[in-house]
Structure 1
Amino acid sequence: MFETRSLVILLTIATTCAVQARENGPISNADLPTVLSATRLRQAPADVPGSMTVIDRELIRASGARDIPELLRLVPGMMVGYHSGNEANVNYHGTNVSEARRMQVLVDGRSIYRSGLATIDWSSLSLAMEDIERIEVFRGPNTAAYGANALLGVVNIISRDPSGSQGTRLKVTSGTRGVLDSYGSHGFAAGNTHMRLSVLGRRHNGFDHDEDGKAIRDGQRTDALSLAGTSQLDPNQTLNWQLGVADSSDQAGYDYEAMAPGNPGYPGAAGSAFERQISTHGPSSDTEDRTWVASARWTNDFSATHSLQLSGSLQHMEQLQQWRACDSPVVFSPDLKAIYEVDPQLARHLNKYFRGKLDTVDDLRRLFPGDKAVLFPLAERVIAQHDAALDAGPSCWDINQTMRETRYEVELQDTLQLTDKLRTVFGSNLRYDRVRSETFFGGVEDNRTLQLFANLEYKPHAQWLLHAAGMAEDSELTGFSFSPRLAVHYFVRPSHSLRAVYSEAVRSPDMYENNASWTYRPANLSGPPTLSNTYYAHARGPGDLEQEKMRSGELGYNGRFHGIGLSVDIRAFHEEVHDMMSEPLQLKNFVPTNEGFVRFTGVEGQFDWQATRRDRLRLTYAYIDLVARHKLDRRLTPRNSGSAAWLRQWPAGIHSSLIYYGADMLNERRFERVDSRLSKRLELTRNSSLDVALTWQYRLDDEGLTWSDNRFDSRSHYYLSAQLSF
């Protein structure tokens, strides 16, 4: 179904644009664009040792996307899923559907990858969509340029220069599913400094209901403020700086899985105080996230062949989550803790028994085989302790899953054009991370990381270009690693190159995987007497996990056909990741290992055609053949995925876009959607304008979005926006 429908839509859009091209004629030759994020050198796309996707301002506006994860659907091979309505998962090529651990994300070169939990919190960005100049995505391993965690790719979000966004803009967006966004910015100058102050607010209700029709509570609120500035210190020196703060709230239902959930079918439970109280106890466990950011970058262009850059940043992130949980007093039983310490799976078998998934005690006994049988008398005592508490009711206590992360980072980078044929960039990065959490770490964890990097670009002949790059990295928690990359380009023509790339990359286990000390430390414990104040489950990181290691080979082509305004990039790849950490990291089942393995083999293509002065056609496609050792790594990689977009400028200031997205498997579910946008600009005065836009999204499939419980009442979703500029 995906292949047939996709082909029809692609051909329809292509045919329409071809007709427009014949009517209006091709545009004139344009200068080649450049990218900044691949090797830290400014390069033409044909010179890059890998594949780049650039989402420019025109695409950002035409997509109608309200957030960055939705925008990244335009990147071939990028998998966008949702754990809930407020928790996006963005992975290049796939791996675990619940985690996004293997891609580096930067904002103007500053990493927002959270080392504590190895995640990207997309909602905590203080940068508004309206303030983004472009997004550069390096598709493939890039540890050689950006260090561990750039295992599968790098996303660099580049903000608009404040000097180019002077004046005032006010925007409001409203639509179905509770969408209510607001944005305001004011650009101004003070002496040799241009500044932009921006304020944003985003609201939506999340998914409507689960697979059974039950309402879901997973809405989101984000408010942020940012101040960005550019100071021209002298003709050669520039200072760019940013300040930002964001506050977001993610709704969540009751986030505690009880050992004994009050099953009325359990003998003696029906009508008991325990059954009545625990079945009605379900407070929300909303999360509030707060982020503060300050960064600065000083650049000194000594000459046309030498530039020095010094940057530094401070980030502080707080994840505040507290609620009250209730469970059987046996969760504080030393007998249950003794069982868990020997084998957490045995404690889960007891959970099945209390849930009524095992009919008799003999059924439970059979799950304690061999040398584990000696623990069964402890299980019988736990059952007796629970039975004795049925008339007394559950034990309740306060859970505090608050986590605070702080990062200090400083980097020095030197760029030199040594000869007409040879140039290089090299430098060093020093980063300090601190994570605080009583629940997840039992206190404080620290890590210091030193990076030394270099990239060499040599052009011995007009038709040949050679690259060599490497990153040496030493981490206090994970030790030393070195990631090299070698590439060779052959230029058929100046803007058409064939490339071969070999690279190695690593991902360091995060603090949570390697150093967790996760247990519930009860506060304000109430209910019947307990045998101790120590919760039975205690997840401990092994402390000796090795880095994940990747080897990647790539053959590719990049070309720009100036006469017809067409840019093409094709990538064939073979990637293998060894020593992967693929296990689910749950309190009651926390056993991370380096036993995972995944292999991606396939081909990707992206085609961007400025067919006429008014029409732009863009196509992406990815075919991926996947081999994965762990079942959880097999669920987010569709064999076929892609997008097709037609952007049109009509007379009278009217713009339209039609974009199709498709994937034949996202967590074993088909995804197909068509987005359309229609906008109109009204020139009010010489210096003011009003932009009005309607965005409509329509799902072509009837699947849950990533998970079966992620469902909307309607396949249609629309929102209307109006922006006043003066």
Structure 2
Amino acid sequence: MFMHPPRPFVLLTALLIGLPTLMAEAADLDDLQLPTILSATRLKQAPAEIPGSMTVIDRELIRASGARNIPELLRQVPGMHIGYRRGNQINVNYHGTNVTEARRLQVLVDGRSVYRSGLATVDWAELALSIEDIDRIEVFRGPNTAAYGANALMGVINIITRLPMETQGTRLHYTQGSRGVRDGYASHSGGDLLHSWRLSLAGQQDDGFDHDEDGNDYRDGLRASRMNMRHLWQLTPNQTLDWQFSASEASRQSYYEYSTFLDHEDGSAPLDRAINRHQPDADIRGRDFATQGLWSLDLNPDHQLQIQAHAQHLERLRDWRVCDSPVVFSDHLRQLNSLSQLAARKVSSYLEKTGRTETLDQYIDRYLSSAGETYTGQMQQLANQVLAETAQYSNGQPACWDINENIRETRYQVEIQDSLRLSPQLRLLSGASYRYDRVDSETYFAGTLDNAVAQLFGNLEYRPHPRWLFQAGGMYEDDHLIGDSFSPRLATHFFLASQHSLRFVYAEAVRSPDMYENNVDWRYRVRNLSGPVNSPVSLYSHAQGPGDLEQERMRSREIGYNGNFHQLGLRLDVRVFHERITGMNSEPLKIDNFLPNNASQIRFKGVETELDWQAGRADRIRLTHARIDFDATSKYDQRLTAHHSGSVTWLHQWPGNIDTSLMYYGADQLNERRFERIDSRIEKRLNLQRGTSLSLALAWQYRLDDEALTWDENLYDSPSHLYLSAGLNF
């Protein structure tokens, strides 16, 4: 613990203690009707009672944003950083860290986790979910392992879909615009108070970025189709069954990404020319299926019980033909790689250079010494044998063969949760869950790998006085492949008024390394081999997980304020935080550079502010800002975090059923690049006849900066992006 709080903590505390003098109209402690939040502790709570900060992106904001995917909606969350690996691959990170991975956020769809346990990521493009079906997104900002287990290390995103009764009738929606945007959506909802259902179908496509840093066309388009079915059954007056089924199929364009052992700068040798001519596409095909059910029983007004179960299966399929120097099948290179992956890579980089002044041994020894490795006599002998073999093949033909990066993941989970009010001052939530995961991939795992996770969780809420609220929660988790852990959280709220609270929160959280990091057995199986190689053969490259990685651990301290100035229509949340993550795995995880460890750490401190103001019947203004300072030991965790980021939103309702929105997003550093964009939208609604309406909308995005988006190759021809939408409800 820090003994002397940072200056912002002291200033915020002093400011908020004096708030009662600034809110005479809101200073009484009478009970008022408050909105409820579901995703913080699993208990229904008012915003001022949450042990942390929560951002709610409601239906109005979703519609006004004009966003076509969920990550773009999350730009409205303070401290949330959106990184594009390519146009069809998006990473969402709270507070940043690694620019190419998003390993530390739990993402739920109606309470079902879509976080992949096999590869520790969320595939936003393949989610079997349409934006039109979303009611709201609740984002808990800060560690929440106490409520949702490992992988909620830095926060939780819970995407909550609309109930069928809220969308009765038929809805059609179509969007078309620049950059190849073609989106369609259709749904029909029916039923009554006892049975209600909705079926929705959607298709989405775009062309991604226009060109790379060299001006070449960039092949990163997306084609996706989605289906959702939801049925809500009121079994008895106090008992419901909510069942859902979803499926998606997507194709993500991708380039030939095989990394050849040799890539000479001049490319003049016959072997190099043949390898360089071989550049087939390697698209990624995805299929997702999921079904889930939630049974809820209200035993009495103070006691609720629910059981949720789900099953899901996903496939990511990618196969293509590669060509390389026959030396990649050398026994000498395979032995050298087993002794030192770095030494094997440096043989390659030495051969690729022109105008060399060092010998091979001098070159490798220099790099191994800087990395703390010793260049042994055995390595020297093997490296020089590889050098001689490479020369033999330089004027010949390449070896070519088929490989794949196919992976299938399956999950089953059942969870029981009990909510009980023991007295007017005391409320208890408790529960347990069991999850089974299986991953199947001959490339990444040499077959199948299984894991099982059991959880026990609880949250106790005690309110001895109208001005004080105490909460204690925790999660015990046993991971078959990793071991057990316990994540506690303690929170104290002091209420300046009924809807104005000052909170103090201490939390510990963990993230379990995924199967890929810890248990990978990565090697490419060779099929249909052609070229000057005798069978049987195997590639030199091989990555093996250590099997003994420990969990990443966070300790977080927070002072915050949440207030609702009811008569002003103003809501304000301020979060001042100090977080430290230790035991981080931040190293590259490539087949020729696979070095996972728990050696990295990072410290965050800063202030996040969120203001939402309903400035009259026609106007809504929303401001967010995050100021983050950080110290990271790994260079890979220093690139995505922005020191300053935020958004400004203005929504206005004009006469004649016309709505407009204007949004600004900015960040001073996303992978060392500035980001600024203005989004605007205008919508006209027409009531054609009773029960039928037509909406027409024009959305426009304009980049104010001249930077690539996250990576050098992510470039557009124009900073302007325009698309039209039409919707019909009947």
Q: Is the 8 A contact 1:105 1:111 kept in 2?
A: yes
Opposite residue 198 of structure 1, the aligned amino acid is S
Query: How far apart, in 1, do the equivalents of 2:365 and 2:378 lie?
Result: 8
Structure 1 residues 358 and 580, CA, compared in 2 at 3 Å: closer, same or farther? farther
Q: Does 1:340 align with 2:337?
A: yes
> What residue in structure 2 maps to residue 650 of structure 1?
654
Opposite residue 258 of structure 2, the aligned amino acid is Y
Q: Does 1:501 align with 2:501?
A: no
1:30: how far off?
A: 8.8
Q: Is the 8 A contact 1:352 1:358 kept in 2?
A: no
Q: Is the 8 A contact 1:456 1:467 kept in 2?
A: yes
TM-score w.r.t. structure 1 length? 0.94
Q: Structure 2: which 5+ residue stretches go unaligned?
A: 1-30, 367-373
Kindly report which structure 2 residues correspond to 1:77-476, keeping only aligned pairs within 5 A, or say none: 77-189=79-191, 192-261=194-263, 263-264=265-266, 269-270=268-269, 272=270, 274-356=271-353, 359=356, 362-363=359-360, 365-368=362-365, 371-476=375-480
Structure 1 residues 357 and 287, CA, compared in 2 at 3 Å: closer, same or farther? farther
> What residue in structure 1 maps to residue 612 of structure 2?
608
Q: Which deviations, in whole Å up to 9, do the C-alpha atoms of 1:280-336 show, x marking residues without a partner? A: 100111000100000000000111101000010000000000001110011111101
Structure 1 residues 387 and 466, CA, compared in 2 at 3 Å: closer, same or farther? same
2:376 partner SS: helix
1:262: how far off?
A: 5.5
1:480 partner SS: strand
Opposite residue 435 of structure 1, the aligned amino acid is V
Q: Is the 8 A contact 2:193 2:234 kept in 1?
A: no
> What residue in structure 2 maps to residue 22 of structure 1?
none
1:660 equivalent among 660, 664, 669? 664
Opposite residue 426 of structure 1, the aligned amino acid is S
Q: Is the 8 A contact 1:332 1:530 kept in 2?
A: no
1:440 partner SS: coil
Q: Which deviations, in whole Å up to 9, do the C-alpha atoms of 1:668-720 show, x marking residues without a partner? A: 00000000000000111111001111110000000000111110000000110
Opposite residue 362 of structure 1, the aligned amino acid is T
Q: Structure 1: which 5+ residue stretches go unaligned?
A: 1-28
Query: How far apart, in 2, do the equivalents of 1:263 and 1:530 lie?
Result: 29
Q: Does 1:597 align with 2:597?
A: no
Q: Is the 8 A contact 1:278 1:394 kept in 2?
A: yes
Q: Which deviations, in whole Å up to 9, do the C-alpha atoms of 1:89-116 show, x marking residues without a partner? A: 1000011000000000000010000000
Q: Is the 8 A contact 2:452 2:479 kept in 1?
A: yes
Kindly report which structure 2 residues correspond to 1:699-710, keeping only aligned pairs within 5 A, or say none: 699-710=703-714
Query: How far apart, in 2, do the equivalents of 1:149 and 1:358 lie?
Result: 49
1:722: how far off?
A: 0.2
> What residue in structure 2 maps to residue 74 of structure 1?
76
> What residue in structure 1 maps to residue 26 of structure 2?
none
Q: Does 1:720 align with 2:720?
A: no
Q: Which deviations, in whole Å up to 9, do the C-alpha atoms of 1:561-613 show, x marking residues without a partner? A: 01110000000000000000000101110010000100000000000000010
Structure 1 residues 225 and 279, CA, compared in 2 at 3 Å: closer, same or farther? same
Q: Which deviations, in whole Å up to 9, do the C-alpha atoms of 1:182-227 show, x marking residues without a partner? A: 0000001178211100000010101111111111111111101110
Q: Does 1:46 align with 2:48?
A: yes
> What residue in structure 2 maps to residue 488 of structure 1?
492
Query: How far apart, in 2, do the equivalents of 1:373 and 1:671 lie?
Result: 51
1:418 partner SS: strand
1:33: how far off?
A: 1.3
2:552 equivalent among 545, 548, 555? 548
1:353 partner SS: helix
Please, what is the CA RMSD of the aligned residues?
1.4
1:441 partner SS: coil
> What residue in structure 2 maps to residue 624 of structure 1?
628
Opposite residue 282 of structure 2, the aligned amino acid is S
Q: Which deviations, in whole Å up to 9, do the C-alpha atoms of 1:477-520 show, x marking residues without a partner? A: 01000000000000000000000000000000000000000111
Structure 1 residues 400 and 190, CA, compared in 2 at 3 Å: closer, same or farther? farther
Kindly report which structure 2 residues correspond to 1:514-593, keeping only aligned pairs within 5 A, or say none: 514-530=518-534, 533-593=537-597
Structure 1 residues 362 and 262, CA, compared in 2 at 3 Å: closer, same or farther? closer
> What residue in structure 2 maps to residue 10 of structure 1?
none
Query: How far apart, in 2, do the equivalents of 1:366 and 1:352 lie?
Result: 10
Query: How far apart, in 1, do the equivalents of 2:388 and 2:359 lie?
Result: 15
Structure 1 residues 472 and 409, CA, compared in 2 at 3 Å: closer, same or farther? same
Query: How far apart, in 2, do the equivalents of 1:30 and 1:719 lie?
Result: 42
Opposite residue 473 of structure 2, the aligned amino acid is A
Q: Which deviations, in whole Å up to 9, do the C-alpha atoms of 1:422-459 show, x marking residues without a partner? A: 11110001000000001111111110000000001000
Q: Is the 8 A contact 1:333 1:532 kept in 2?
A: no
> What residue in structure 2 maps to residue 21 of structure 1?
none
Query: How far apart, in 2, do the equivalents of 1:236 and 1:520 lie?
Result: 55
Question: Mean alpha-carbon deviation: is it higher for 70-79 or for 123-132?
Answer: 123-132
Query: How far apart, in 2, do the equivalents of 1:202 and 1:499 lie?
Result: 43
Structure 1 residues 722 and 357, CA, compared in 2 at 3 Å: closer, same or farther? farther
Query: How far apart, in 1, do the equivalents of 2:355 and 2:506 lie?
Result: 53
Query: How far apart, in 2, do the equivalents of 1:400 and 1:391 lie?
Result: 28
Identity %: 56
1:80: how far off?
A: 0.4
Query: How many pairs align?
Result: 693
1:421: how far off?
A: 0.5
Opposite residue 218 of structure 2, the aligned amino acid is I
2:538 partner SS: coil
